[in-house]
Structure 1
Amino acid sequence: MNNEHIQRLLPFGYIYLVIMGIIKESIFYYQLDINILKFSSIMDILISPIAEITAHPFLLIFFILLVFSLYGFKQYSLKYPEKKFIKKYYKIKETENITNEEFTKKINQNLIGFFFVMLICFFLGFGIGGGNFLSKRIKNGDLKFEKYGQTLTFNSGEKKEIYLINTNSLYYFYVVKGQKTVEISPIGTIQSIAKNK
């Protein structure tokens, strides 16, 4: 796959990531009875997939390792195309003779497809699993305010001890200690937020 081909694929790859990010966020917040698209700016939507991947160091490391692993497997496949498990993996018959160019194209298509499937699993898994886990903890009153709590100070001087779910460029999403519903406050109404000691 030459550089020109990669450059043509990059915009489609990013659009795919944005769509996956939107689906993940929608599923996650739907389980909290929030239509997140009503509370998001265009910029929030565009950066959502990158923000999700970089939010946790282990996820970023996982994706870097995944990319390097796929590249390594591609190089190994090109070096040892005659191995039985390589032919079986790429569904090439023992008697089938294909050119090096055709084999490289088959590898690229396979690995790109595998990478996209991994992204679908990642985003859907986090959306469904994360939203379900958090909604159950909210309903059961199991949020750990002592360990993960923050104090939100409003412009009016009012203070609330909260469990912060997330923020975007426009709103804070949180649960107030002692309550079992998600509250949403515009960023402009918040003076400060501090982690509880």
Structure 2
Amino acid sequence: METTKIETTKQSVTKYSIQDYMSIGYLFLLVLGVANQAIFYGLLGVNIFEYTSVLDVLLSPLAVISSHWLMPVILAVLIPLMIGYFKLLQWYYVKLSRKEKYQSGKKKEKLDKVLKSLNKKYAVIPFILMMLICMFLGFGLGGGYKSKEKLETQKYNYTHQIVYEDGEAKDVKILGKNSLYVFYATQDNKDVQISPIEGNIKVIKKLPSKDKKELIEN
């Protein structure tokens, strides 16, 4: 009787609900989002934690994904492909195990181990997690190095115009933005400029691209 109670308790402890998995997944993405921001701004010589609110930290995964149009596209394509690949592997090894030469001996033992690992309910999850780690850290490193190089060489186009509360307007290259500050570059200055938004900036306007600008002028 006692043994049955202990086993039931163990099962209830180890069994997680969908909400638990969602919470763990969000915490995982939260760590990746913060790491991405820290790497990106760190390469630009900015300690982002000095300019970040709690809300910015909580929304960092969404901010990272939405700031790179390529990331949601890659996720939407690679995750289904990865799941499909695992299904294909399962089918292949099941078919292989039915062949006569794999019915006994060490070959059968190896196939049984492979099938056991592939048949696990969440076998694909570690690979998806590894893909997310590579993407978040890769985009942070790549974006940081690219922006740093442009700052040093001054080879970039203005993307936005900032209009301050006092009426001053400035054309800038926006490098990043959160709920409190905007980070930007200006010509003849190799350092990142940081301006608070509240009580300082009135409007941030997106400038037309170079091609559109030429069409307007003509």
Settle same-fold status: TM greater than 0.5. Answer: yes
Which letter does structure 2 place at the counterpart of 1:104? N
Is the partner of 2:93 in helix, strand or coil?
coil
Tell me which residue corresponds to 2:119.
104
Cα pair distance change 1:116/1:133, threshold 3 Å: same
Q: CA deviation at 1:176?
A: 1.9
Whole-Å separation in 2 of the counterparts to 1:126 and 1:103? 30
Which letter does structure 2 place at the counterpart of 1:165? L
Q: CA deviation at 1:118?
A: 0.9
Residues 161 and 177 of structure 1 are in contact (CA less than 8 Å); yes or no, is this contact kept in structure 2? no
Q: Which runs of 5+ in 2 are unaligned?
A: 1-14, 97-105, 209-218
Give yes or no for the alignment of 1:196 onto 2:207: yes
- Write the deviation string for residues 124-143 of structure 1: whole angstroms up to 9, x where unpaired: 11111211111111011111
Cα pair distance change 1:125/1:100, threshold 3 Å: closer
Cα pair distance change 1:38/1:17, threshold 3 Å: same
Cα pair distance change 1:121/1:168, threshold 3 Å: same
- Write the deviation string for residues 146-176 of structure 1: whole angstroms up to 9, x where unpaired: xxx3211100111111111111011110012
Cα pair distance change 1:78/1:163, threshold 3 Å: same
Cα pair distance change 1:22/1:116, threshold 3 Å: same
Tell me which residue corresponds to 1:51.
63
- TM-score with structure 2 length normalisation? 0.74
Higher Cα Rg: structure 1 or 2? 2
Q: CA deviation at 1:122?
A: 0.8
Whole-Å separation in 2 of the counterparts to 1:100 and 1:59? 32
Q: CA deviation at 1:81?
A: 3.1
Whole-Å separation in 1 of the counterparts to 2:173 and 2:191? 11
Which letter does structure 2 place at the counterpart of 1:94? K
Q: CA deviation at 1:83?
A: 4.8
Give yes or no for the alignment of 1:133 onto 2:143: no
Tell me which residue corresponds to 2:25.
13
Whole-Å separation in 1 of the counterparts to 2:87 and 2:117? 15
Tell me which residue corresponds to 1:36.
48
Question: In the comparison of the two structures, how many residue pairs are matched?
Answer: 182
Q: CA deviation at 1:17?
A: 0.8
Give yes or no for the alignment of 1:175 onto 2:185: yes
Whole-Å separation in 2 of the counterparts to 1:23 and 1:143? 26
- TM-score with structure 1 length normalisation? 0.81
- Write the deviation string for residues 91-116 of structure 1: whole angstroms up to 9, x where unpaired: xx6312369776421x623x211111
What is the percent sequence identity of the aligned residues? Answer: 32
